[in-house]
């Protein structure tokens, strides 16, 4: 099923042309009927594991003898350990070291066993030559065959060198082939150079990586290395973080305050970095599990299921050192999707709309709805179905979608919050079974046994109705949808083009919510409210009605063309707008053009109203 088969609903509001003449016929007085049926029918929803696995990350460390000179403080070792302790919980990490031959090899390791990687990195010695070819081949073999995101981080002083020229050429060739193999398998390579003179592109390890589409970084100083680590963690690997503090250490116990943006965090990491060791790290909260990791230039406190959002962190640094703090928050959620149906009788069939409601429940703790936290109000969910994606705004702790349902369908929806600083893992996709409406019997009711029996026993009134049915051309009319509430939200109005550019009219907002019990209003009235006296031909025939679920129903009875979501709504058509959606109206001969944006009253006009020439 594609998005073309599941489209945003457009509600009927009238019965089409010719109705006025038919209404004048006496027989029609007995026969006009318009029934709106709204059924709240629960639909089966079950969770389905999404394709793909967790991310996989392998560190490759050059331990050749030249590293003694180029990394005398063993900053490469400390840098790998910092990246291991800073990586997200679901990242599997491996390690390969190399000198004359491949040395330490640690296969992909789960979070609980990461200290095995840290110990292997600590145990290396800088000695021997540089067989990078064998090392990269080994690293590639550590990855799984699944579709997980795969990355390699290489730290080296740059040049492949073996005992003989023949061995050097062989290692270089195998290294080049391994880089191409990694590229073919979708493995990203990031190479960090540690020598002062590595700006020379001829250093073979970095030259090959750059030519194959990988990224190379040069970090001859400790500050350069820290900046490179930050770039790889937060940009290349895509881990999300918040910078929460930057303070100067006093030499005694210092404190910083950290606020986790949203409740229900599965794991919280607070990463402290400086010029020298950072000790005495502690926090003022309790957690299901707490770990503190320290290195030569960093400290990490890791909390599983902390009991609060406001956390005070204490630490001791060297006086005068600048200490930076980053917050990494992880959430694990299960989508819960519910479907309700709205059925409307239209001519000889029932038109069904599916209203899909999506929430995200915490996989840990009390299984609460994570979207109920005020942090998520107004943010968006990225929804993916059949490799097509679109966004839905979060409002009142959920995201809503409206779809027409013509046939029985089963769709899998993958969900991901966007526009956040949080690391979200939605562990399941939701599969929803949609059922079409039960259509009425196409056989006219008066030809069924039940109809005949009713006519025989119904008397004169039923006979008159039957006679009228036989002589009239059947029409079905639509009653206007009635809702208890009045208009909601507001219309942001932008006159893009007036009289071929002869007039310039500034944007303005029309407060629909202030119309009280009024149920409809046309575009001409909206324009007049702003003191616009210029005539827009047909504006008085573009009507706005109160819609369900805070939506706005629009009926186009004019000769203008309305564009919505890339499709044209021709004269006589209709559509429904939800908050955050807009339409574009082109009047006759393209003389006048107007853009309308339907918003919550809480949103300022500057939040997204820009005069454009298309929707």
Same-domain status, 553 and 574: yes
CATH number at residue 317: 2.60.120
Same domain, 326 and 338: no
pLDDT tens track for 513-546: 888 888 899 999 999 988 888 888 888 999 999 8
**CA-to-CA distance for 9 and 35, rounded, in angstroms?**
18
Please report, for the domain that includes residue 91, its CATH number.
Answer: 3.40.50.410
Residue at 535 is within a domain = yes
| 588: CATH | 2.60.200
Q: Within this chain, do residues 247 and 313 fall inside the same structural domain, yes or no?
A: yes
Select from 505, 545, 548 the least CA-distant residue to 528.
505
The verdict on 191 and 60 lying in the same domain is yes
320 and 380 belong to one structural domain: no
Q: Which residues form the domain of 513?
A: 490-599
Residue 61: the pLDDT is 98
Q: pLDDT value at position 591? A: 74
- Whether residue 20 is contained in a domain is answered as no
Instruction: Provide the number of structural domains found in the chain.
Output: 4
Residue 444 counted as domain residue: no
Summarised one tens digit per residue, pLDDT across range 180-239 is: 999 999 999 999 998 766 544 455 788 888 777 789 999 989 999 999 999 999 999 999
User: What CA–CA distance (Å, rounded) separates 464 from 470?
Assistant: 10
Q: State the pLDDT at residue 451.
A: 66
Q: Name the 3-class secondary structure at 112.
A: helix
Structure tokens at 552: 């706005």
Indicate whether 164 and 113 sit together in one domain: yes
25 within domain boundaries: no
Burial of 201 (0-12, 13-18, 19+ CB in 10 A): exposed
Residues 76, 184 within the same domain: yes
Q: 565 and 594 share a domain?
A: yes
One domain for residues 320 and 377: no
Q: Is residue 446 part of a domain?
A: no
Phi, psi of 446 (to 5 degrees): -75, -10
452 domain residue, yes or no: no
**Which domain CATH number covers 427?**
2.60.40
Whether residues 86 and 175 fall in one domain: yes
Residue 459 domain flag: no
Q: Establish if 42 belongs to a structural domain.
A: no
Residues of the chain scoring pLDDT < 70 = 1-54, 196-203, 365, 442-452, 456, 458-460, 462-484, 589-590, 604-615
């Amino acid at each position: 099923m594609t998005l073309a088969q599941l489209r945003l609903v457009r509600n009927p509001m009238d019965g089409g042309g010719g109705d006025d003449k038919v209404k004048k016929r006496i027989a029609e007085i007995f026969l006009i009927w318009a029934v709106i049926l709204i059924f709240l029918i629960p639909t089966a929803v079950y969770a389905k594991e999404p394709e793909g696995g967790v991310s996989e990350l392998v560190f490759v460390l050059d331990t050749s003898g030249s590293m003694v000179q180029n990394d005398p403080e063993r900053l490469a070792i400390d840098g790998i350990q910092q990246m291991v302790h800073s990586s997200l919980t679901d990242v599997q990490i491996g390690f390969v070291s190399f000198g004359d031959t491949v040395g330490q090899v640690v296969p992909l390791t789960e979070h609980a066993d990461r200290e095995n990687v840290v110990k292997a990195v600590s145990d290396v010695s800088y000695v021997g030559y540089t067989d990078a070819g064998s090392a990269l081949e080994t690293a590639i073999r550590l990855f799984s065959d699944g579709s997980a995101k795969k990355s390699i981080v290489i730290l080296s002083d740059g040049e492949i060198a073996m005992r003989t020229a023949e061995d050097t050429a062989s290692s270089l060739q195998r290294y080049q082939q391994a880089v191409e193999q990694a590229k073919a398998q979708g493995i990203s390579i990031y190479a960090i150079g540690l020598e002062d003179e590595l700006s020379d592109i001829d250093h073979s390890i970095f030259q090959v990586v750059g030519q194959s589409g990988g990224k190379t970084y040069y970090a001859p100083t400790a500050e350069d290395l820290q900046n490179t680590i930050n770039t790889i963690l937060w940009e290349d690997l895509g881990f999300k973080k918040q910078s929460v503090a930057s303070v100067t250490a006093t030499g005694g116990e210092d404190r910083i305050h950290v606020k986790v943006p949203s409740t229900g965090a599965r794991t919280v990491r607070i990463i402290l970095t400086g010029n020298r060791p950072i000790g005495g790290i502690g926090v003022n909260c309790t957690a299901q599990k707490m770990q503190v990791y320290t290195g030569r230039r960093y400290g990490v406190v890791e909390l599983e299921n902390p009991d609060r959002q406001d956390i005070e962190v204490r630490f001791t640094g060297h006086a005068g050192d600048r200490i930076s703090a980053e917050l990494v928050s992880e959430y694990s959620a299960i989508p819960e999707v519910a479907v309700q149906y709205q059925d409307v009788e239209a001519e000889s069939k029932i038109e069904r709309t599916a209203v899909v409601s999506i929430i995200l429940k915490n996989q840990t703790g009390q299984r609460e709805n994570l979207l109920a936290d005020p942090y998520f109000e107004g943010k968006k969910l990225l929804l993916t179905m059949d490799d097509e994606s679109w966004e839905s705004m979060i409002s009142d702790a959920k995201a809503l979608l409206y779809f027409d349902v013509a046939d029985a369908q089963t769709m899998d929806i993958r969900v991901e919050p966007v526009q956040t600083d949080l690391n979200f893992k939605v562990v399941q996709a939701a599969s929803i079974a949609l059922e079409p409406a039960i259509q009425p019997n196409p056989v006219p009711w008066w030809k069924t046994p039940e109809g005949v029996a009713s006519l025989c026993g119904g008397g004169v009134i039923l006979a008159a109705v039957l006679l009228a049915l036989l002589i009239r051309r059947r029409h079905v009319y639509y009653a206007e949808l009635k809702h208890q509430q009045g208009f909601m939200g507001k219309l942001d109005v932008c006159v893009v083009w007036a009289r071929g550019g002869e007039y310039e009219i500034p944007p303005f907002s029309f407060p629909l919510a202030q119309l009280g019990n009024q149920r409809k209003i046309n575009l001409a009235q909206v324009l007049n409210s702003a003191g616009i006296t210029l005539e827009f031909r047909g504006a008085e025939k573009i009507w706005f009605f109160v819609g369900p679920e805070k939506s706005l129903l629009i009926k186009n009875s004019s000769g203008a063309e309305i564009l919505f979501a890339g499709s044209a709504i021709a004269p006589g058509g209709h559509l429904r707008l939800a908050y955050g959606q807009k339409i574009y109206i082109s009047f006759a001969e393209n003389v006048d053009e107007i853009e309308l944006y339907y918003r919550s009253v809480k949103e300022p006009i500057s939040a997204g109203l820009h005069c454009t020439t298309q929707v």
